[in-house]
Structure 1
Amino acid sequence: MSSKKKDNVSANFPRGRLAFFVTSNVHKFNEARRVLSEYKLATAMLKIKAAEIQDDSLENIAKASATNAVKNCGLPIIVEDAGLFVEALNGFPGPYSSYVYRTIGTRGILKLMENVDKRDAYFQSVVAFSSPEEAPKCFHGKAKGKISREERGSLGFGFDPIFESSGGGSRTFAEMATTEKNEHSHRAEALRKFAKWYTCGSKRRF
């Protein structure tokens, strides 16, 4: 990103409350924006072309993505990586959830879980913050639940239609509006941890 474009983008937000959320997923950004607004944190969606990082660790993926994003744009940024971990599948798809979703989708997971009674699963999220002056710092969130027997709901995205949140009764994330999902989700938990750290008086960088 050119310095002129960077200055124009940055001018739209108050200094001290600015971080750019790097993603091409509008649904993910909207969830993040709502959570961060609880802390009066302004954020904007920033798309950066980069090679997809594959690793066995969500934290390693988030850190590498944050480092690459800062090198590309020179701005304070947030990245988030998440995975669905199914216990009966030994944690699959885990850190490879994005690739698995694109290839076999929710129906593929349900197919793998046919005739499986133990359906415990959890979502894990890692939010990484970085800036030109600071190495990536990570914040973690987790949401426990079960894999449903069928797809349910038209809201959310990704594996939401097959994940029954422990905090939402028997409903899937895709059956919850964003506000309610943010009360239970892994992503919201990680983002709140970041926001509390970022907005703490001694921690404000910008």
Structure 2
Amino acid sequence: MRQVAFASTNQNKYREVQSILTLHGIEIEFVRVELVEIQSDSLEAIAKEKARSAFAQVSKPVIVEDDGLFVSALGGFPGQYSSYVFKTIGNAGILRLLSNKQDRSASFMSLIAFYDGNDVVIFEGRVAGRISEQEASGGWGYDPIFVPDDADLTYAELQNKDDYSHRRRALDRFAEWYLRL
């Protein structure tokens, strides 16, 4: 079985990454480390720097994940600032910002960045959807307010979130590449 380290402080992300990559025959080692998260308008630049930061701390091939919720009516906000925005205004704040908006379309993008000390390789997964009218219970992060296209429930309410997941799409692309190395 192939193995790779996953660097994060987010246990929820680790469980999701582990459940997906295990299906591909890739064993995940969870490495809890604080990563450098630069301020940038580019989600890709942030993911690359996080991967370099993780490798510097663990000295072995590693993946990191960075994602963003991009809301059309808000000009793509919160985008690459999703983590900070969630910590400051949360789902309730996003719902308030959209309270008078007809257009509730949004997309979730996940970037998996792999680094082995040579080159950072990026794998993207994107899912289109919309922001719900109210916050559902359960889930974590923006899951209680994001409804993927082709679904009537939020990520938090779906029994099969992985079937719709932006993270799943990025991880599947990573796994296909990684298993060919």
Task: Report the TM-score, using the length of structure 1 for normalisation.
Answer: 0.85
What residue in structure 1 maps to residue 152 of structure 2? 170
Name stretches of at least 5 consecutive residues in structure 1 with no aligned partner: 1-13
Residue identity in the other structure for 2:154: T
| Paired residues of 1:22 and 1:79 also in contact (CA < 8 A) | yes
Which of structure 1's runs of 4+ aligned residues deviate more than 3 A? none
Q: Are residue 158 (structure 1) and residue 137 (structure 2) matched? A: no
| Paired residues of 2:37 and 2:49 also in contact (CA < 8 A) | no
Counterpart mapping for 1:1-206 below 5 A: 17-132=2-117, 134-154=118-138, 156-167=139-150, 169-177=151-159, 180-200=160-180, 203=181
Name stretches of at least 5 consecutive residues in structure 2 with no aligned partner: none
Cα distance in 2 for partners of 1:43, 1:152 equals 30
Give the CA deviation at 1:51.
3.5
RMSD: 1.1
Give the CA deviation at 1:116.
0.8
Range that drifts further, 145-154 or 42-51: 42-51
Cα distance in 1 for partners of 2:70, 2:12 equals 21
Higher helix share: 1
When Rg is computed on C-alpha atoms for both structures, the one with the higher figure is 1
Aligned residue pair count:
181
User: What percent of counterpart residues are identical?
Assistant: 43
Task: Report the TM-score, using the length of structure 2 for normalisation.
Answer: 0.96
Residue identity in the other structure for 1:153: S
| Paired residues of 1:153 and 1:172 also in contact (CA < 8 A) | no
Cα distance in 1 for partners of 2:36, 2:66 equals 14
